[in-house]
Structures are given as C-alpha cells and as structure tokens.
Structure 1
Amino acid sequence: MLARLAPAERTRLHTIRIEMKHAPVTIAPGVKYAAWTFGGTVPGPALHVRQGDTVDFTLVNRANIPHSMDFHAAEIAPSKYYTNLMPGDSLHYRFVARVPGAFMYHCGTAPAAMHIANGMYGALVVDPATPLPKAREFVFVQSEFYLTPKPAADGTRSLEWEKLLSLAPDHVVFNGRAGQYASRPIEVRPNELLRLYVVNAGPNRISSFHVVGGIFERVYEGGSQASARVGVQTVNIPVGGGSIFQVRLREPGDYPFVTHAFADATKGAVGVLRALAPGETPSAQTPAMAH
C-alpha cells in the first residue's frame, strides 16, 4: 500500500461512499488474513478534507454480519448515525469537519475490538483552514493482528480472540502489512519538508512514533496547531488517536521510522524513509505528492 496522501479536493462538499466487505488481505510475507474491511483494503481508504468542509457519506454493508462506522472527526449523535447496519442495508448522512487533525475511523459494532482487529479502520485527515506549509505528505495507520495458530482450508488466518485479550499480537504494522516500507523504502529528498499523519488504530498498543536520525521540527498532537511542540524526538499516540509530524532529513541515507516500543517494531511496525543523494534517480514508485 502506498503511503501517499492525495490532496484534498477543491470542493466544500465531499461525497464519499464506502462498502463494507469481507476479503482476504496479505498482512506479512506469506500470511493471508480473512479481513473485515472498508472498501476491500486494510486500512480503509485514506480520506482528506479541509476544515469546514461537509462530508456527504454513504455506508453500505456487503458483508454477512452487522457492521457500522464511527468517525472520530464527526461531532454527531452516535445513537443516530453509528448504528449497526444489517447485511444488504445502507446508511446516508452528512457531517461538517469542524476540527483539523489526523483522525481515526472504525467499525463500532460490539465487540468493537474484534471488528477493529479484523481490519475495520482507517484515517481521515482534516486540513486546517489556514494551510500548513507546503510539504510532501504521508499517512500511516498503525495496527495489530492476532492470528489463529493454523490457517483455514483456504490458507487464511483469522482472529485469535484470547491473544487479543492477552495483548499478544503476532504482527504490528503500518498501513496493514508488516515491514512493507522496510523492504521498499519511501524515497524523499534531503532537507525537503515531510509531513507525516500517523493514526493509531490499535486495538491495544500505544504507538511511540520516532524517526531514527531525525528530530521533528513540529508535532501537532491530535492535530491541534495550538498545541504544537518543537524539537521532539518521540511522541506517544494513544489507541484511537492521531498526530501530525513535520521533519526534514538532513543528508542522503536511510532513516528508519518505528514505534519505539521495540517489541512492536520487531513484529513489523518499522519502515524506512530514504533520502536520495543529489543526482540519484528515484525508483518508479511515487509514495507521496506535494501540495
């Protein structure tokens, strides 16, 4: 999965439709998981709007069990809008994204931990009304997988509930797959401004986000510009939370990004930002766009 965050469309009304479905996904080399998804991927699509924009949202349940949607960026009544959708049903509503930040969305159907652990989560980025400086932007969603000991007949693993309750994940990942940005680094240029939107979907583990060899110029914890911190090395992101990180990589080379809870990094929550040398040709992948 590419980490790029597409620019927010130049509109005040964003029409978003997401279908919930069960589908196999690859979560580590050689490991297929029987996931519950928003849109067929884990995490679900990265959504991007601006402060004050209206989201016109339609949710459709294509799965065979009830599911729902909880937007952390929305200030609406859960009893009206975060209700369970039965198979084949749909729900439509609008909300205004009033507060900027990096927000989680997820299925809230009970037990919510089960639905999240099975893959039903994603990120919604709300840009502030006064734009932040131009940067290359990336979005990372940290999460965990708790696997059954043996695969099913179709080769997929599924959720082991007792492991989840024991806080013993098999894989801790960024954007749904263990170590994907370590084996395929994200390429940038030295000294360009990078903005990382990091959401922690959990369902259990705190993320201690850190870029090895870098110091965050600014960190907007929870996305709030009023609480910006300067010159920060590591920031804890609670489960269900998100923060915005700005950093420059000062010279060519590889800069790992991790959760500094190293047991979790060892289980897959690690990637690499590669600052290319002058004249070095980028590979074919383009994991982020400036705006």
Structure 2
Amino acid sequence: MSSRTLLLALLLAACGGKTAERPAETPSTDSRTAPTGASPAAMSHGEAKVNDPAVPLHRAAEAPPRSTARRHAVRMTTSHVRHVIAPGVRYDGWSFDSVVPGPVVRVTVGDTVDFTIVNRAPIPHSMDFHAAEIAPSRAYVNVNPGDSLSFQFVARVPGAFMYHCGTAPVAAHIANGMYGAIVVDPVRPLPAAREFVLVQSEFYLTPPSGPDSLHALDWGQLLDLTPDHVVFNGVAGQYAAHPLAVTPSELVRFYVVNAGPNRVSAFHLVGGIFDRVRVGGFGPPLEGVQTFNVPVGGGVIFEARLTEPGIYPFVSHAFADATKGAVGMLRVGNPGPVPAGGH
C-alpha cells in the first residue's frame, strides 16, 4: 500500500467515511500502517491508539521546575544505546546521557552554564547549544572516544532551544538520537502554568538485522526525506497511549523544540486555540493562533487554556507525520471513556 493510499484510508476512517479498499497485495506488516481492527473510537484524532498499554512511556513530558541557581554545572556523557521507538521497533541509537532525546536543561537569562561533554562512545561526538553565543571553532569541536571537553556560556536570550551533536555528518548524529532541549526562562517569570517539553524528531530505519533485530539509520531515506517514524520525545504516540493530565481552565504551556533533522512541525492543539505563541526571545507573543510551524532546529512556546473536560489531541498537522507518531493527548479533568466517532 502506498503512503498516499494509507493516509487517505486513515483520514476517511477518522471522519466516519468509507475506508478506501486495499489493493490486492500481501497484507502489510509495516509498523507505519494502522492497527488491524482498530476502530476510530480507539484512535486519537484517527492516528494513534488511546491508552494503549503496548506503547512504552519512554519519559515524562513535564518540564523541570524553574531554577533559582545562577550558575549551572551541566555534564553529559555520550554513548550508543538501544532505543525503543515503538512496540517491537528497537533502534541502534546514539545519545546524550543514554536517553533519546537528551535531558532537558533549564536556566534563566543571565545564568552561566559550565558544560562538560564526556565521550564514552566509539566514535567522535560534540555539542552545539543553540542557546549559546560562542565561537564554535573553540567549543563545538569533536571530542574523541575517551576524551572530554569543557566550555561555558551565558544564556542571554529567553526561549526554547535545541542542542545537538555537531559532528559530521550532522544529519546522521541528529537522526541517531543526539539532541535535546534547553529552556531559557526570562528574568521576569512567565505566569504559572502546567508545563511540558516536547522534542519532535524523525527516525529513518533500515530493515532489522542481527540476533537482536535492531534497526539502524537508512541514510538514503534520510536524504529522500522519508522517515518511518516522527515522534515526540523519542517514542511514537507515547502521549496518546499515556495522555498528559491537566485541570480544566489551568494555563498549559508547551515548550516545543523541533530536532528534525528534516521535517517542520506544524504544531496544533485539536479543540483549542493557542492564547499566546512565543516565537522570539524578546518581542510580544502572537495571540489567537490555531497552528504554528516550528522550524527544524527551532523552538516555540505555546500557551492555552482548555475549559471543558475532555480529550484534546496535540499533533503535527502535517498529517503524514501525525500518522507516523507525532501525536499526543491532553486529558482535561475527568472526561470518562473516549466517545465513539472520530475527527
């Protein structure tokens, strides 16, 4: 089945229409296809199962609290890991601190970051902080296996920023898992909110191989911009399977970073309109926004209030990517069972 036929079938099913007939071919076992027999009532926006225990919760999405320290010692170790992208899909990945994405760093404008990278991987790696203003020829250099490197910077601009390995080929190091988010708070705190950090990224997979059936990076697919999975925080659909809980009418804030390496994130909250979208570091926020693109290598802060109890999907509205895993859900209050029907 072509990806275009699959997407049409999913959208028709989600809208209560008639599903497109499958061409006469061997049934696909591709992880990108919809689960056999899944009804729209069990789907989040027609893309991912709700409350699916088979999908691992890789990491909590809650943001770390705002720090009162003015100096931060941040030490990260690079290593190669086996990362579970989706049920039954294990990937031979690269990482900061053995997690994909790497740990969230949070500082305030004016703070000093004392950073050390320790390379315990078998190949060179490096670090590039988008929140730093620093000579890359001095700080963003390759660290050989067994070596370490330290540098410092002052966070001057508020916002949500990406960090990543900058060793060539950069696209491969990012696609293999070497990225994360750093949140730089303004000196004057933003209003209190329930805060989440989402890092969108893509995986391009070779067929599984070896005794452990591991996938690896398919460089040709990466260059052709055809990912197998597009995910929030490392795992496809994990926050549809494990919705993020919020209280009706409380302010919800998303720090969304797009690690790429290729796909724009058209971030959208189904059933809500963003009260404020903070794009730049110092200018006024946009107001009343339905969808906003987070560019590759960029970060945007989204705020909304949801008054009615219910289930509210958040997606990349580039729906091919939502179908491949860029989907999650907010559970507002206690809405009860997911109702029948679809979007």
Specify which of 285, 308, 317 is matched with residue 260 of structure 1. 317
Asked if 1 retains the 8 angstrom alpha-carbon contact of 2:204 and 2:221, the reply is yes
What's the CA shift for 1:225?
A: 4.2
Deviations 1:76-134 (A, max 9, x none): 00000000000000001110000000000000100000000000000000000111101
TM-score (norm 2): 0.80
Please state which structure has a larger fraction of its residues in strand.
1
Q: Tell me which residue corresponds to 1:92.
A: 150
What is the alpha-carbon distance in structure 2 between the residues aligned to residue 134 and residue 2 of structure 1? 19
Q: Tell me which residue corresponds to 2:273.
A: 215
Q: Tell me which residue corresponds to 2:289.
A: 232
Deviations 1:244-280 (A, max 9, x none): 00011121000000000000000000000000139x9
Deviations 1:134-193 (A, max 9, x none): 111100000000000223332211100000000000000000000000011011111100
Q: Tell me which residue corresponds to 2:101.
A: 43
3-state SS in 2 of match to 1:113: helix
Q: Tell me which residue corresponds to 1:289.
A: none
Is 2:332 the counterpart of 1:275? yes
What's the CA shift for 1:10?
A: 1.4
What is the alpha-carbon distance in structure 2 between the residues aligned to residue 180 and residue 20 of structure 1? 24
Is 2:112 the counterpart of 1:54? yes
Q: Tell me which residue corresponds to 1:187.
A: 245
Specify which of 115, 120, 125 is matched with residue 183 of structure 2. 125
Is 2:294 the counterpart of 1:242? no
What is the alpha-carbon distance in structure 1 between the residues aligned to residue 158 and residue 67 of structure 2? 16
Amino acid at match of 2:229: H
What is the alpha-carbon distance in structure 2 between the residues aligned to residue 277 and residue 37 of structure 1? 37
Q: Tell me which residue corresponds to 2:255.
A: 197
What's the CA shift for 1:8?
A: 2.8
Identity among equivalent positions (%) equals 65
Q: Tell me which residue corresponds to 2:130.
A: 72
Is 2:177 the counterpart of 1:177? no
Specify which of 32, 35, 49 is matched with residue 90 of structure 2. 32
Asked if 1 retains the 8 angstrom alpha-carbon contact of 2:208 and 2:216, the reply is no
What is the alpha-carbon distance in structure 1 between the residues aligned to residue 316 and residue 95 of structure 2? 24
Asked if 1 retains the 8 angstrom alpha-carbon contact of 2:90 and 2:213, the reply is yes
Of stretches 2-11 and 80-89 in structure 1, the one that deviates more from structure 2 is 2-11
Deviations 1:9-35 (A, max 9, x none): 211000110000001011111111111
Q: Tell me which residue corresponds to 1:143.
A: 201
Gapped runs of 5+ residues in structure 1? Answer: 281-291
What is the alpha-carbon distance in structure 2 between the residues aligned to residue 227 and residue 155 of structure 1? 50
Of stretches 227-236 and 118-127 in structure 1, the one that deviates more from structure 2 is 227-236
3-state SS in 1 of match to 2:302: strand
What is the alpha-carbon distance in structure 1 between the residues aligned to residue 303 and residue 107 of structure 2? 19
Specify which of 206, 210, 213 is matched with residue 264 of structure 2. 206
**What stretches of structure 1 move > 3 A for 4+ residues in a row?**
none
What's the CA shift for 1:69?
A: 0.3
What is the alpha-carbon distance in structure 2 between the residues aligned to residue 130 and residue 174 of structure 1? 29
Amino acid at match of 1:252: P
What is the alpha-carbon distance in structure 2 between the residues aligned to residue 109 and residue 167 of structure 1? 20
Q: CA RMSD in A?
A: 1.1
3-state SS in 1 of match to 2:225: coil
3-state SS in 2 of match to 1:218: strand
What is the alpha-carbon distance in structure 2 between the residues aligned to residue 249 and residue 34 of structure 1? 39
Amino acid at match of 1:228: P
